[in-house]
Amino acid sequence: MSDYRVNKTEGEWREELSPEEFHVLREAGTERPFTGEYTDTTTEGVYACRACGAELFRSDQKFSSHCGWPSFFDARDTEAVELIEDRSLGMVRTEVRCRNCGSHLGHLFEGEGYPTPTDQRYCINSVSLTLEPAGGE
């Protein structure tokens, strides 16, 4: 088991998650661009980890990057996510994981020139998230 607050076996994760959710969240897969339910969503609310429910991002941190996945310029707080060097696919990137359960969320890119307060783009798979609309709508 790991050092995460939420610890489950691979079998437990497989029982709780759909095959696509398991592939992205637990095997660090990626959903196809422009297919996720939150890519163009502008609903106000809080985005949480689909695997464990931990709050990760807020809608006021989301922006339209036109990259094919939901993009955020900052995490809810610095403790919500962990950043890990990813050298897969012959490149160096920064993987974003849920700090509560270790699930893969996406990648962080910096210095791309987006007009955001942080010049960062958290490129997150929709399937890694659930959206709780403001006011419980």
Which residues are known catalytic residues?
Answer: 123
Q: What sign does the dihedral 98-106-10-53 (CA atoms) show?
A: positive
**Residue at 77: amino acid letter:** D
- State the burial class of residue 6 (Cβ atoms within 10 Å of its Cβ: 0-12, 13-18, 19+): middle
